[in-house]
Amino acid sequence: MTTPTSTRPRTIGFWVVAITFLLVMAYSTVPTPLYPLYQQEDGFPVATITVIFAAYAVGVVASLFLLGHVSDWMGRRRMLVIAVLVSTLSAVLFMVFTDVAGLLVARVINGVSIGVLTATATAHLSELRARARPDENSIVAASVAGGANLGGLALGPVLGGIFADFFPDPLHLPHAVFAVILILLAIALTLVPETVTVAPRVYRPQRIAVPATSRSAFIAAGFAAFAGFALFGMFTSLAPSILIGTFELTDHLVAGLTVFAVFGSAAAAQVVLASVPRRTQLLFAAIACGVGLAGIALGAVLALFALFIVGGIIGGAGVGALFKCSLAVAGELAEDGRRGETLAAIFLVAYCGLALPVLAIGAALSFAPQIDVLLVFVVVVGVVTVTAALRMRRQSR
């Protein structure tokens, strides 16, 4: 029989991992409202911002492919500590370099840490909760993992905006503060219980492999994750420039709060809809993505910031529900001993959605006005997210 004393380390460990997940994800988006400052410092065009952002996504994708599944046999705790220390290295690089080349390297390394973190922390939270509360379903762990993931992405731009507007040396101080925080988190993680049996295994890169009978469901989940993260990529890379160029808003905290609103609504939707049937969640996702993206487009065309931000909040909520359903499907399809690998696969597809569309935006900005590029992007993402949500809904029981 499981006693309160025997479950306490797993319960405490669960929250240590959740807080670590939240803060490391937050640090990955701290630079978002700082991009105009880097641009002013080094004199690069807006299109370069999308390349710098995409460098982060490339790091995530490469890390997920090469390392995202390794925690299945090297251990969740060990890989989480490594992820946090790699993120600390990126903070040091940000403190040293402010030019484009330095930013690209720092963002790639930061992306590598996130690639290791996401699938590993999600699997670790699920396993810690299952062992601490074996009679409980997986909703709590999935909700906490989703909230930490998207909530951290939402928190980071706000913190970056606060540093930019209210503290000295905003291109160095936030990275120094987070370097200290990350080191403390790495130390705390060493005390968290391990949940897998560590066993040496011949290394191989990530494999996207699901049972043939489930392949259609996995493809639908990946399609939805790709489309949803494309919207996140647009806001994290271009929001500050759009606010300046379209709405003439130069306050860095406003830029941070704009991104916070989108990611925050996504995290909130995951928590609020936790107990709602999946088919209902997917219907909500389809409607919210369509309405939200229409609001973003109209707000940009009419130069109405309120409409733009409301559209972002509604669309963010839809993407939050869509991504949560994608993770749930991937988790259900995972075979024993391959949970980290399957989750790494779905995150791999999602972060391709974060990188590839943003690179396309950067290329388009070299010859087309920003507002035209935004409108084309919004239409495409709107069609894809709504289609993905409805397709997943048809396949859900």
Q: What is the pLDDT of residues 309-329, one digit of tens each?
A: 999 999 999 999 998 888 788
pLDDT tens sequence across 376-391: 888 988 898 898 899 8
Tell me: pLDDT of 85 over 60.
yes
Look at 284 and 365; give whichever has higher pLDDT: 284
Q: How far apart are CA 192 and CA 350, in angstroms?
A: 28
Which band of pLDDT confidence, cut at 50, 70 and 90, is reported for residue 92? very high
Which band of pLDDT confidence, cut at 50, 70 and 90, is reported for residue 139? low
What pLDDT, on the 0 to 100 scale, is given for residue 239? Answer: 74
Q: How far is CA 362 from CA 355, 356, 367, in A?
A: 11, 10, 10
- The residue-averaged pLDDT of 102-109 equals 96
pLDDT tens sequence across 33-81: 898 899 888 888 877 888 888 899 889 888 888 887 788 889 999 999 9
- The residue-averaged pLDDT of 277-290 equals 93
What percent of the chain has pLDDT above 70? 91
Residue matched to tokens 């894809």? 384
- Domain definitions of the chain by residue range: 4-193+208-395
Question: Domain 4-193+208-395 is in which class?
Answer: mainly alpha
- Of 91-105, 261-275, 334-348, give the lowest mean pLDDT range: 334-348
Q: How far apart are CA 229 and CA 206, in angstroms?
A: 20
Look at 396 and 223; give whichever has higher pLDDT: 223
Which candidate, 167, 304, 322, places its Cα nearest to that of 232? Answer: 322
The most confident of 82-91, 136-145, 323-332, by mean pLDDT = 82-91
What pLDDT, on the 0 to 100 scale, is given for residue 280? Answer: 93
Tell me: pLDDT of 109 over 60.
yes
Token readout for 9 is 């380390």
Look at 157 and 343; give whichever has higher pLDDT: 157
Look at 51 and 347; give whichever has higher pLDDT: 51
What pLDDT, on the 0 to 100 scale, is given for residue 340? Answer: 63
- Please count the residues of the chain: 397
Tell me: pLDDT of 137 over 60.
no
pTM to 2 decimals?
0.82
Tell me: pLDDT of 1 over 50.
no
Q: How far apart are CA 309 and CA 303, in angstroms?
A: 11
Residue matched to tokens 């972060």? 351
What percent of the chain has pLDDT above 90? 37
pLDDT tens sequence across 166-217: 999 999 999 999 999 999 999 999 999 998 888 877 877 766 555 455 777 7
Which residues 6+ apart lie within 8 Å of 208 measured at CB?
Answer: 345, 348, 349
Residue 394 has phi, psi (to 5 degrees) of -65, -30
What pLDDT, on the 0 to 100 scale, is given for residue 336? Answer: 64
Q: How far apart are CA 369 and CA 373, in angstroms?
A: 6
